[in-house]
Amino acid sequence: MTCCAVFVLLIVAYLLGSIPSAVWIGRHYFGVDIREHGSKNAGATNMLRVLGLRAALPVFVIDFLKGFIAVSAMSLLRLDPTISAAWIIDFKICAVAPVVLGHIFPIFASFRGGKGVSTLIGAVTGIQPALALLCFAVWMLVFIFTHYVSLSSIVAGVSFPIFVLLFSGTLYKRYGEASWLFILFSVVVAALLLWTHRKNIARLRAGTEPKMHLWKKRQ
């Protein structure tokens, strides 16, 4: 019975991730397919660059909530008295993969989605909010000094396993045996962000990556 419940929740996680907020909002409210403009990425950053904050903010919120809800739903397994708290953390970590893959390859948008950063942030927040805040602080610092959203996301992602290792003792006290999986998960997250930003990395090296100045008046 527990295996069936876990399987259903993983499927729900993928379907949640597949909600193409950027595509639907772009088409319904602005009459454009965001995947045909800017970086052609169906995410909050491209929405901000192409359509402005009014379009980007709801996309970020929805994508964040997709990840947060997907991992938080695993807490329902606590209704089974045979499942320990450490197992709940394991299941939450397992839910990250389908929800992020759903965002990158959404079944509701011809499998053409975004990079999964906002959804990944929501998922990590649902597992360990303190570490998510640390990574966001890194993101903000890099963005303030460079104005590159992509570089900020890459550095924040790479810093995630570093923070996990630094606080591994605290994680072990809280999660017990689940801590090793959390360390592995953080490394996979960093690798995933590097892979999804491979084109951005090429543009950064070539000096052609566009910068973002939030406080500048849009034309």
HEC states along 67-135? HHHHHHHHHHHHHCCCCCHHHHHHHHHHHHHHHHHHHHCCHHHCCCCCCCHHHHHHHHHHHCHHHHHHH
d(CA 47, CA 80): 42
Predicted confidence (pLDDT) at residue 218 exceeds the cutoff of 50: no
Closest CA to 55 of 74, 84, 83, 31: 31
The confidence score (pLDDT) of residue 49 equals 87
Distances (CA, A) of 23 to 68, 70, 108, 207: 20, 20, 10, 29
Other residues' Cβ atoms within 10 Å of the Cβ of residue 172:
15
The answer as to whether 215 is a domain residue is no
Q: What is the mean pLDDT of residues 136-165?
A: 92
The confidence score (pLDDT) of residue 1 equals 59
The answer as to whether 211 is a domain residue is no
The confidence score (pLDDT) of residue 219 equals 43
Residue of 171 and 58 predicted with greater confidence = 58
User: Please, what is the Cα angle at 106 between 212 and 3, to 5 degrees?
Assistant: 125
The answer as to whether 219 is a domain residue is no
d(CA 110, CA 131): 33
The answer as to whether 18 is a domain residue is yes
Q: Pick the range with the lowest mean pLDDT from 9-23, 29-43, 173-187.
A: 173-187
User: Can you give the C-alpha Rg of the chain in angstroms?
Assistant: 18
Q: What is the pLDDT of residues 165-208, one digit of tens each?
A: 888 766 656 665 556 778 888 898 899 889 989 989 999 999 99
Q: What is the pLDDT of residues 77-114, one digit of tens each?
A: 988 888 887 788 889 999 999 999 999 999 999 999 99
Sign of CA dihedral 213, 115, 41, 23: negative
The answer as to whether 22 is a domain residue is yes
Helices then strands, each counted (H, E), the chain: 11, 0
The structure tokens 């649902």 sit at 126
The confidence score (pLDDT) of residue 2 equals 75
Q: Pick the range with the lowest mean pLDDT from 114-123, 133-142, 205-214.
A: 205-214
The answer as to whether 48 is a domain residue is yes
The answer as to whether 134 is a domain residue is yes
**Arithmetic mean of pLDDT over the chain:** 88
Other residues' Cβ atoms within 10 Å of the Cβ of residue 191:
13
Number of domains in the chain: 1
Model-level pTM?
0.86
The percentage of the chain sitting over the pLDDT mark of 70, rounded to a whole number, equals: 92
Write out the residue range of the structural domain in which residue 10 sits.
Answer: 2-206
DSSP characters over 129-142: HHHHHHHHHHHHHH
